[in-house]
Amino acid sequence: MNPVLPQEAVEFAGTARRAFESLGGVDVARRAEADPDSREDVAKLLADLGVDELDPLADPEQAAAAAALCEAAGRVALPYPVGGVVLRSAAGLPVAAVPAAPVRVDHGDLFDMWLACGPAGETMPARAVGAPLGTRLGPFVTDLEPVGGAAEDVLDPASGQALLAWWLTLSAWTILGGLDRAVELATAHAQDRIQFGQPLTAFQTVRFQLADAAIAVAGLRELALFTLWRLHAAPDHAWPDVVALRSHALDVARPVLRATQQLHGASGLCDEVDICVLVRHLQPALRLPAGAEDTARELAAAIATDGFDGLFPHGATAGDRTSA
Amino acid sequence: MDFDLGEEAALLRGRLRALIDANMPPGFLGAFTDDPSDLATTQEFCALLAREGLLTVAWPTEYGGQGGSVWAQTVVREEMWAHHEPRGAQYMGLNWVGPAIMAFGDDEQKRRHLPPIAEGSVIWCQGFSEPDAGSDLAALSTRATEDGDGWRLRGQKIWTSYAGMAQWCVLAARVGPGERHEGITMFLVPMDAPGITVVPIESMLGPHHLNEVFLDDVPVGPDGLLGEVGGGWSVIRRALAHERVGIARYARCERLLSLMAGELRATAGRLPDHLAVQWARALTQVRVARLLAYRAVLAQEAGGPPDAAASAARIAVTRCDQLVAELLFQVLAERSLEAGPSAPLAGAIEDHWRYAQAATVASGTLEVQQMIVAKDLLGRSR
C-alpha cells in the first residue's frame, strides 16, 4: 500500500506549475480569449517541458507524470488540450473523446486533424471544421468531421476503449486541478474579505462550506490516484473504475464550483477574478464528451457488466460470499 | 504507487471471513438486541478470536499482541464492522482502552487489566459525555474528590454505550477547581462499585446502546487513577483520535450493497433505472470513503497529527453510511420498515438505517469534524 504519486511525477508537476505560473497563471486563459493565437506560447512551453516524450500507457511512472501535468494545467485553466496531446495516436494525431453527435472537442481548432474517440471506443480520424463556438462557456469548443484515415489511426475496439479510458482519466485530473485551485481561491478570499466587521471565515456556515468543498476535492484526489493505479495494475478490468472517476469528478465539480464561486459574492462573476475564469473554462471538460447524468448511467451499465473492485463482489457476481 | 493492502492483509481477511462464516449465526445483527443469546455469541466469538491470536492483532507483541501492520488492523476493523461487529461491545477495550492503559497505566494496572481484554473476557464502557458536555467535552463537571488515599466520584454521564453490560468503565472526572481541560483526570472504575446506577435510555438504536450513568459518591481506590491527576485530556484526545478512524462503516455499506444486489439477482428483481444510477454513485461514494479512511490511517502511521485527515474521512464515511441506508430503503420500498428475521436480508437493512442516523453524531458530531477540517484548511492557507 503506497497511494502516493512517484517522486519524479511530483517534481515534474512542480516544474509544470512554475512554468504555467510564468505565463501568468489564469491570465493565460484570459489572454487566449483575447488572442487565440497566444495558445502557441502554451504549445512551446509544453514542448520545452518534454511533453512530447510522455507516454502514460507505457508505464505507471509516465502515467503519474501525465496525470500530475494535467492537474497542474487545470489549476490555471490552461487553454490547451493537454490530455489529448499527451495521448497522441501512432501517427501523431492528438486524441479527442467526443460525443456521438455533434462530434466536438475543446480547442479543436488548434489542430487540423484529430483521432476522435467515440462513446464506445470507436476511433476515427476527424478534421476540425468551422470556427470555435466563441461563447463564454465554450470559447474554443470546435466541431470535428470524421474523415477516412490511414489504417494506423483506426484502432481495434479494445485499443480505442483503452485510449478513451486514458483520456477520461487525464481529463478528470485536469478537473481535479481546477477544483483544488477553486477551493484555495475561495479560502483565501473568505479570509481576506471583511463583512460585518470580521472575515467571512469567522462565520461557521462559511467554514462548513469550505470544509465540505475541501473534503469533496480530497475524495476526488484519492479516487483519481486509485484509478491511475488500476489502469496499469488491472488494465482489462479498469473501465468501471474510469467511468466512476469521471462520474465522481462531474458530481463533485457542481457543488464545489458553485460553493467556491458563491463565496466570492458578486466579484466571483467578474472575469478579472480567477474563480470566474476557472468556472467558465472548466465547463467544456464537464460537458464533453458526456455530462454527469449520462456518465452515471454509463457507470451503472459498466458495473452491471464488469463488476466493481472492492471489499465485496458487485455487478454480475454480487452477493457471492466467497469472491471479492 | 500501489493500493493493494498486501498478502498479509488478504490472508487475514480470508481467515476472519472463514471464522465468521463458521461461528456466527445467520442473521446476526450485533450484540445489542433484545435476544440475550446475541451477547453470549459475541463473548464466545471474542474468546475464539483470542485463541486464534486474532483478537489483539493491533497490540504490540510485548503486551501479547501480534504487532500487526496498520493494514492488518484496518482489515480487522473492516471485517468486524462489515459483519455487524461480532466482537460486540468488546471492540472498545481492544481499540483504545487497552492501548490507553499501555500508554498511561502503571505496571499493576497493565497486569490487572490487559490480560482480560486480550483474552476477550471483559467489556469496557467509556464515561465521557455528560448532559452539559457533549461536543464540548471539556465542559464536563463530574467531580473526583480525594478520600483518604483514594477518590470519590460524583456526577452523571450520558449516552454511555454498553454501560448495562460492562464490567469496567474508563471515566473522565474533574479534580480541583480548574476549568476546561485543567484538572480533567481519568479513572478506571468497576461498574459494580457502590453508588453507580445505570438507567437505559429508550432509543431508535435498540436496547443497551444508550444509558445514563449516575455516580453517587462512588469510591475508587488509588489504583483506579489512570495517568496523572489533570492528565486526562491527553487520554481523551488519544481515544477520540482512535475512534475517528476506528469504525469502518464503509465496509458494512459495501457488504449490504453486495448482498442486496445478490438478493435481487436471485429473485430476478430488477432495479428501475434511476435507482441503478443511484446505486452506481453510492458504490463510488463508498470507495471514496474507504480511500479517505486509508489516507487517515497513513497519516496516523506517519506519526503526524491525524485530526484533519481523520475528520475528513469520518465525514465522508458517515455521510456514505446515511446515503447507502437511504438508497437501500428506496430499493426495499414498502418492505423497508420490516424488521427481524423475516425482513429483507434478515433485517440488516432496517438495522443499518437506524444505526446510520447515529453515525454523524457518535464519537464527535459531523459539525465538530467540519470545524476541524476548516481550521486545518485555514491554517494551511496562511
Tell me the per-residue pLDDT of B173-195, one tens digit each, with 9 for 90 and over: 999 988 899 999 999 999 999 99
How wide is the angle at C-alpha A243 spanned by C-alphas A219 and A71, nearest 5°? 50
Contact A311 B254 (CB under 8 A): yes
Nearest to A314 among B258, B374, B382 (CB): B258
Nearest to A219 among B265, B266, B288 (CB): B288
State the pLDDT at residue B268.
78
Examine residue A248 and state whether it is found in any structural domain, yes or no.
yes
Phi, psi of B150 (to 5 degrees): -115, -150
Domain count for chain A, please give it.
1
Q: Which of A312, A321, A323 to mutate to test the interface with B (most CBs of B within 10 A)?
A: A312
**Distance in angstroms (rounded) separating the CA atoms of residues B227 and B182:** 14
pLDDT tops 90 at residue A159: no
Place of cell 470559447: A139
Contact B291 A188 (CB under 8 A): no
Average pLDDT of chain B, as a whole number: 93
Instruction: Assign A233 to helix, strand or coil.
Output: helix
State the pLDDT at residue A195.
97
- Is residue B12 within 8 Å of residue B331, measured between CB atoms? no
Confidence of residue B354 (pLDDT cuts 50, 70, 90): very high
All residues of chain B having their beta carbon less than 8 Å from the beta carbon of residue A230 are 3
Tell me the CATH class for B247-381: mainly alpha
Residue B267 grid coordinates = 429473485
State the pLDDT at residue B280.
98
For helices A274-287 and A239-262, the axis angle rounded to 10 degrees is 150
Examine residue A274 and state whether it is found in any structural domain, yes or no.
yes
Residue B374 grid coordinates = 476548516
ipTM: 0.97
Confidence of residue B246 (pLDDT cuts 50, 70, 90): low
CB within 8 Å of B333: residues ≥ 6 apart: none
Query: Who has greater pLDDT, B244 or A160?
Result: A160
**Fold (CATH) for B7-122:** Butyryl-Coa Dehydrogenase, subunit A; domain 1 (1.10.540)
Examine residue A322 and state whether it is found in any structural domain, yes or no.
no
- Quick check: A59 contacting B, CB < 8 Å? no
State the pLDDT at residue B33.
83
Nearest to A191 among B4, B251, B378 (CB): B378
All residues of chain A having their beta carbon less than 8 Å from the beta carbon of residue B375 are 207
Examine residue A278 and state whether it is found in any structural domain, yes or no.
yes
Q: What is the pLDDT of residues A83-99, one digit of tens each?
A: 999 998 888 999 999 99
Q: What is the pLDDT of residues B7-46, one digit of tens each?
A: 999 999 999 999 999 999 999 999 888 888 999 999 999 9
Q: Please state the separation of Cα B24 from the chain's center in Å.
A: 20
pLDDT tops 50 at residue A322: no
Contact A310 B287 (CB under 8 A): yes
pLDDT tops 50 at residue B156: yes
Average pLDDT for B103-108: 95
Domain B125-235 carries which CATH code? Answer: 2.40.110.10
**Distance in angstroms (rounded) separating the CA atoms of residues B255 and B81:** 10
Average pLDDT of chain A, as a whole number: 95
pLDDT tops 80 at residue B87: yes
State the pLDDT at residue A39.
98
Confidence of residue A324 (pLDDT cuts 50, 70, 90): very low
A window 224-283, beta carbon within 8 A of B = 225-226, 228-230, 233, 244, 247-248, 251
Average pLDDT for A264-291: 98
pLDDT tops 80 at residue B306: no
Residue B62 grid coordinates = 510485548
Confidence of residue B269 (pLDDT cuts 50, 70, 90): confident
Range of the domain at A293: 158-317
Average pLDDT for B250-278: 93
Confidence of residue A151 (pLDDT cuts 50, 70, 90): low
- Quick check: A217 contacting B, CB < 8 Å? no
State the pLDDT at residue A320.
66
State the pLDDT at residue A317.
78
Nearest to B379 by CA among A220, A176, A252, A214: A214
Report the percentage of chain B scoring pLDDT > 90.
79
Instruction: List the catalytic residues of B.
Output: 243
pLDDT tops 60 at residue A323: no
Of the candidate ranges B19-23, B121-125, B296-300, B372-376, the one whose mean pLDDT is the lowest:
B296-300
Residue B195 grid coordinates = 453508588
CA distance B311 to chain A (A): 9
pLDDT tops 90 at residue B5: yes
Q: What is the pLDDT of residues B270-305, one digit of tens each?
A: 889 999 999 999 999 999 999 999 999 998 888 766
State the pLDDT at residue A158.
77
**Distance in angstroms (rounded) separating the CA atoms of residues B11 and B7:** 6
pLDDT tops 50 at residue B241: yes
| Domain boundary assignment for chain B | 7-122, 125-235, 247-381
Average pLDDT for B363-379: 92
Q: Which of A4, A169, A215 to mutate to test the interface with B (most CBs of B within 10 A)?
A: A215
Nearest to B277 among A201, A210, A296 (CB): A296
- Is residue B191 within 8 Å of residue B167, measured between CB atoms? yes
Read off the CATH number of the domain in which A238 is found.
1.20.140.10
All residues of chain A having their beta carbon less than 8 Å from the beta carbon of residue B265 are 318-319
Model confidence pTM above 0.90:
yes
- Quick check: A187 contacting B, CB < 8 Å? yes
Contact A1 B294 (CB under 8 A): yes
Contact A244 B283 (CB under 8 A): yes
